Amino acid sequence: MTDYALSAYFGTTHDELLDTIPHAASLGMKVVEVGPCSAVLRLPYRDDLVGDPTRGVVFGGVITTLIDQALGLAVSCSLEDLRPIATLDLRIDYLRPAEPGQTLFGRGECYKLTRSVGFARGIAYERSDADPFATCLATFMLGSTMGDGPYVAALAEYARKTK
């Protein structure tokens, strides 16, 4: 059985996994659920996130951030040791516009790890994951810096406090 570094966070509503990421926090992203090799995030609709005021559609960069965060968290949830990661490549296929006024969700799955790269896939949807408005594939560099960095340090400190 694999011992995951973030297993203490597996379950629902562990927003501390995003609180130390300023961009995710300022956009209002929340953790719906995390588990081994997977993550689901929620982004409540806000008028200031709209990129097309005529149609009320959320800006594509916000959706990219939601997807990138979900995939990155899924990769982090697949690691046996907590370490920094960085997005190497992210491909998003937009199937249709996100529905205006709806909370958006990003779901990521890490399906393969090598010594230095994590491979992930995912979707973005509003009402049902059976009807995504975007699909994506990504690769992440594992151990992207020599030090732990603020994200790893914050999570390690939280894990120490909850033991």
Averages of pLDDT over runs of 10 residues in the chain (163 residues) are: 86 87 92 96 94 88 96 96 92 95 97 96 97 98 73 68 62
List the Cα angle 82/83/89 in 5-degree steps. Answer: 125
Range of the domain at 140: 7-162
What confidence score (pLDDT) does residue 83 get?
87
Is 2 part of a structural domain of the chain?
no
Per-residue pLDDT at 19: 84
What integer pLDDT is reported at residue 128 of this predicted model?
A: 95
In a domain, 39, yes or no: yes
Residue 36 pLDDT: 96
- What backbone phi and psi angles, to 5 degrees, belong to 27? -80, -15
**Taking the CA of residue 6 as centre, how many other CA atoms within 13 Å lie in the half-sphere pointing to its CB?**
30
Residue 108 lies in a domain: yes
What's the pLDDT score for residue 33?
96
Report the domain count for the chain: 1
Residues 54, 72: Cα–Cα separation, whole Å: 32
Contact of 73 with 20, CB cutoff 8 Å: no
**Is 1 domain-assigned?**
no
Contact yes or no for 68/139 (Cβ under 8 A):
no
CA gap 36, 141 in Å, rounded: 18
The pLDDT, as a whole number, for residue 17 is 87
Q: Is the pTM of this model over 0.85?
A: yes
- 87-to-21, 51, 110, 118, 124 alpha-carbon distances in Å: 14, 24, 13, 9, 18
- What's 157's domain CATH number? 3.10.129.10
